[in-house]
Amino acid sequence: MQPAHTFRNIGIISRPRRSNLSEVVPPLLSWLKDHGIYVAYDQETASSLAEPSEGRSREQVAAASELLLVLGGDGTLLAAARVAAPRGIPILPINMGSLGFLTSFMLEELYPALEDILAGRLTISERVMLHAELERGDKILDKQTVLNEVVINKGALARMIELELSIDQDFVCRYRADGLIVASPTGSTAYSLSAGGPIVHPSVESFIITPICPHTLSDRPVVVGDNSIIEVKLSAGTESVFLTLDGQKGIPLQATDRVRISRAQQLLKLIQTPNKSYFEILRNKLKWGEA
């Protein structure tokens, strides 16, 4: 539980082309206006309104807000996390998708959650994020901060790729695989889980390194402390390889490129329902105990 805070500026970020946004957004805007809240919303949210309205970019919405309300699934939340975390803005995630490990509030819980937030009744989980740097030669070509995972994977028709893994400058092994996932604890229930990685509680300060379809069956997932510096190097001759960040941005890689992954300085503040524990969410989403 966090100390009471009065939010007067709330931003809305929505999943693109969600069919029921037109039913949700107009009454939501009226409710917020009646409670004296200034609202900034993105272009996707604006497109759901009957009267023409110009939305802002997501960066502009975050810059004008003290809290972000995300209407969508986990993919929408991952995009919102990149603009919220650097500003220290908490996110209230409302599940309008399907699975939704991160969007723990259902649509029917929207207004009770807002009432609790405006009354200062907040339950916030701080989530570790990953900082990734792409190095080519002696130059850093790109830097990104993501919530779930950094993935190095082969193209659709490419052969198995070769990767060298080092942790804190200590050589670990050389993989022949379809790719490699470096995930945060939050991302342990995403791509890493489908590739055979473990589920790690968000409070565990760790990174999960999971090979994708490794050639050697003894190549298993590894969990290391999140104070580690993880470096992955492409072997010479490797072709058609991509660096994928939270499944939303892909960057073509070249042979001998290096990807360096560390803990990001900023944390994501994620508002959670006090009525559902982490394990209850897992049971519901993964159908544990069901025949």
188, exposed or middle or buried, with CB in 10 Å at 0-12, 13-18, 19+?
buried
**Catalytic residue list contains 74:** yes
Q: Which residues pair with 146 in a beta bridge?
A: 130
3-state DSSP assignment of residue 114: helix
- Whether residue 113 contacts residue 124, with contact meaning beta carbons closer than 8 Å, is answered with no
Query: What gap in Å lies between CA 41 and CA 5, rounded to an integer?
Result: 21
Rg (CA), the chain: 20
Query: What gap in Å lies between CA 54 and CA 214, rounded to an integer?
Result: 48
Q: Which of 74, 219, 246, 257 is catalytic?
A: 74
166: left (phi over 0), alpha (psi -120 to 50) or beta: beta
DSSP 70: E
DSSP 223: E
Active site residues: 74
